[in-house]
Amino acid sequence: KEVMAGTHRVHCPAGHAIIVSHDLPVLSRITEASPDKPYAAFVLPIDLGLLRSFYDLVPDFDDGQQDMAALRSYPADAGLTGAVARFLALAGGDVAAALLGPILLREIHARLLVSAQGAILRRFLRRDDPSNHLARAIASIRSSINEPLSVSDLAAQAGMSKSSFHAHFKAVTGQTPGQYQKDVRLLEARRLVMESSDAISSVAFDVGYESPAQFSRDYARKFGHSPREDRHQGRARTRATPGAAMPARERPTAGARQ
């Protein structure tokens, strides 16, 4: 599998895990799968409250890693894969699942935290770390994607100067704030195009575009098809496969993939 967010691009072969520490507008594609070797993944949202419960147990924050990229791939060790396998084996919702599920979730979070690529997660243990401030700014962008973007307001919200905020934001997300907002708008627009019958111009306005023509150009540049072509192809696939779901919205999930 290949996963992309801004300028960040990682390859995830079999047996690897991906950590996505922030809410990124992620696009991904399966690069290798067949009936004999199907693609399968386990996706787990990161529980920041659970991570922070380990604060007193992880005292060494100075691990020397300067890379702040929110998207990382690394070989999953036997400890992590074993914990995930035991967690999945609880599927069924019986008493054992209720008792052991929270324990195994805690173990999985702990193993991610101390993994070779866990530095970006360890930063979340410090409330004054820029990673936490950026997470709040990202949440603000996503909650108001149809509104004009004010980098000055976002920087103030994060407690940074404009230049520092811009540099930290790009280091984490691989994009400028403006590029990030555009990608979030386009991913939400694609969901609306595929799942609703709203006019394309209405979709453009709903996600914050002032010009439907500019929206269509940006959409085609991002996805390779115009909004109308995308909608037509999606409906054709659904007619060809009765009961098939519309393509799901590609959205970031902070978690581990096996």
User: What is the structure's pLDDT at 5?
Assistant: 87
Question: pLDDT tens digits, residue range 203-227?
Answer: 999 999 999 999 999 999 999 999 9
Kindly tell me if the per-residue pLDDT of 257 is higher than 50. Answer: no
Which amino acid, one-letter code, is at 147? E
Question: pLDDT tens digits, residue range 129-182?
Answer: 888 889 889 999 999 999 999 999 999 989 999 999 999 999 999 999 999 999
User: What is the structure's pLDDT at 129?
Assistant: 81
Residues contacting 141, CB < 8 A, separation 6+: 149, 154, 177, 180, 181, 184
Please tell me the distance from the alpha carbon of residue 170 to that of residue 105, in angstroms, as a whole number: 31
Q: What is the pTM of this model?
A: 0.78
Residue matched to tokens 């555009």: 182
Report helix, strand and coil shares of the chain as percent, to nearest 5: 50, 10, 40
Please tell me the distance from the alpha carbon of residue 146 to that of residue 207, in angstroms, as a whole number: 5
